[in-house]
Structure 1
Amino acid sequence: MNLSVDQLHLLVLNVGFAQHNGDWNWKNVRSPFARLYYVTEGAAKVVIGSEVYQLTPHHLYFIPAFAEHSCVCDAPFSHYYIHIYEDQQQGAGILDSLAFPTEVDANPIDQELVKRLCDVNPFMKLSDSNPQAYDNHPTLVSNIQLNLRRPFFDKVESRGILYILMSRFLKYASPKVEVRDDRIHQTLAYIRKHLDSRLDIDLLADKACMSKDHFIRIFKRETGETPNVYITKRKLEKAELALVTTDLSIRGVAQLVGYDDYSYFNRLFKKNAGITPQQYREKHYST
């Protein structure tokens, strides 16, 4: 997988240090941003699907965007947290396209790096550890704007630290969807880069040099999903992110992910999320 560091545009939404005493317990958390933790003392658990991860001191932990998870803590526990938003300037996000390990050993200098990131960005500390208090549209948009308005030298230092910390996970990362067929691998890369376009199956099959029926069959064999299902999931994830991190109108969000038919986008979103785009945004307005 050919990646360029120029494609990676990461912003810090929140960073800080938190101490808990059995009160870090949140169920079914699902956010449009990724989380990175550095544990200093104590122990806690993060449950992602059927996997249970023990959080232990001097380790780094990464939870991808949109990964539903629960936090479990019944004893003293201290950690640094970093919430990360990827500005997908080229139409395809690197964090979204890779599968990362959840846990890696921390480098001896990592704690000092995280502390420095906190010092550079004191206004990005959370006032409350409850996700409902910060995982909402006004707070996310405000933090993104604060990030963009910082002095240039602070941006450079912050981004450098964040890149170093993420490199610990990138070292072990692999393409999110492991496929054996190079034609499908190239198709997935094309889809991720063109989520703002109408992705026609005939066009994708033609690019893969296959008939439409053969392309659909091979795509499903390699990914476990039909092309339409895969494309819809990726488009709606991008729409969710835009709904809570931008002030685009609903129609603007629909166009951002390649849907000119506003009514169709609304129906499709509700079918998959259970609520309309407007209801989704309003849900994230409440704290």
Structure 2
Amino acid sequence: MVREKKDNLNFTLLNIGHAIHNADWNWANVNSPFSRLYWVDGGNAKIVLPDGTYNLTPGHLYLIPSFTLHSYECDGYFSLYYIHIYEEQTDNLSIIEQMNPSVEVEATEMDTLLVKRLSEINPNRELKLYDPSSYDNSQTLVKNISENAQLPYYLLIETKGILQQLFSRFLKDAEQKVEVTDNRVLKALRYIRKNIDKPINISQLSELCFLTDDHFIRLFKNEMKCTPTQYINQKKIEKAQVMLIIDDIPIKEIAYNLAFDNISYFNKLFKKLTGLTPGEYKKRLHM
């Protein structure tokens, strides 16, 4: 029995800062390739997630995983520390794919110290503007990732350690999404991730695993709780979101680079999984 590792976290800090809002934290249909972690220290607001609406209250930590469609609502005073975390994509399952972390946890005194320490050792990493369209774009994302290379190595290690400690707070009561125990499915997952820019069909994957198509589909669905096709489409659209942010190329070219021959199908699938068409997503990035 082979289990996918959960200890290969590769977090990169994008932003950290403190913000005070007065009924001006209202953004709809936000969907980004990085996670957001909040520590609320005053006032109230709401986040609307696919599974419901959460009231953000002082003394609590909140987590919005990457690639999660969500909205913000604020009709009064609201004060918070925000942390944006990018998890580099590898051949392995991300922690978000394996676990369903809590959205809200009560902040401890240690959490407060960690957030403030993270802010202290990463000065000038705050957002200039709070509209997500102002920082969900290629220049900002690349710049924020490159900022980490400027940190002294000991502070980079401390930064990554703090990010992992804070993230771990949401895993204590997390539900297991998937726990891949079959080596054949792991092999298929790694193949999909390595070849996400190429056409991938069921026959290729089943042959790789020395199984019939039907047997492979049943095995994959039992392990991953979705069909191989659903997983491939999800990973291709997530890659498309990153490409729309980082690469300044036409949408049609992005679709072709991810092996979509039918642009109409790509547009339809993108909207189904993100809530926006590729054109709307790209327009929001450059507002």
Q: Which amino acid aligns with 2:26?
A: N
Which position in structure 1 is the counterpart of 2:119? 118
Q: Residue by residue, what CA displacement relative to the aligned partner does 1:198-227 show, whole Å, maximum 9, x if unpaired?
A: 544235335666421243356457766432
1:48-59 correspondence runs (5 A)? 48-59=49-60
How far off is 1:50 after superposition?
4.8
Which position in structure 2 is the counterpart of 1:283? 283
How far off is 1:64 after superposition?
0.8
Quote the Cα distance in structure 2 between the aligned partners of 1:20 and 1:109: 25
Q: List alignment gaps of at least 5 residues for structure 1.
A: none
Greater RCO (Cα-Cα under 8 Å, separation 6 or more): 2
Aligned residue pairs, count: 278
Quote the Cα distance in structure 2 between the aligned partners of 1:265 and 1:187: 28
How far off is 1:255 after superposition?
9.8
How far off is 1:167 after superposition?
1.0
Contact 2:34–2:67, Cα closer than 8 Å, also in 1: yes
Which position in structure 1 is the counterpart of 2:144? 143
How far off is 1:60 after superposition?
0.9
Summarize the Cα distance change of 1:131–1:169 in structure 2 as closer, same or farther, 3 Å threshold. same
Name which of 2, 5, 10 aligns with 1:3: 5
Q: Residue by residue, what CA displacement relative to the aligned partner does 1:156-211 show, whole Å, maximum 9, x if unpaired?
A: 111111111011012233443479xx55x962674156412254423533566642
Which position in structure 1 is the counterpart of 2:270? 273
How far off is 1:272 after superposition?
2.1
Q: Residue by residue, what CA displacement relative to the aligned partner does 1:139-158 show, whole Å, maximum 9, x if unpaired?
A: 11111111233221221111
How far off is 1:116 after superposition?
1.2
Quote the Cα distance in structure 1 between the aligned partners of 2:187 and 2:63: 23
Summarize the Cα distance change of 1:147–1:252 in structure 2 as closer, same or farther, 3 Å threshold. farther
Summarize the Cα distance change of 1:27–1:255 in structure 2 as closer, same or farther, 3 Å threshold. closer
Q: Which amino acid aligns with 2:125?
A: M
Which position in structure 2 is the counterpart of 1:196? 194
Q: Please, what is the CA RMSD of the aligned residues? A: 3.3
Q: Residue by residue, what CA displacement relative to the aligned partner does 1:15-68 show, whole Å, maximum 9, x if unpaired?
A: 011111221111111111110001111111111125010111111111011111
With normalisation by structure 1, the TM-score equals 0.81
Q: List alignment gaps of at least 5 residues for structure 2.
A: none
Deviates more, 1:135-144 or 1:202-211: 202-211
Contact 1:91–1:194, Cα closer than 8 Å, also in 2: no
Q: Residue by residue, what CA displacement relative to the aligned partner does 1:75-127 show, whole Å, maximum 9, x if unpaired?
A: 21111100110112445422343211111122221112111111111121011
Contact 1:202–1:212, Cα closer than 8 Å, also in 2: yes
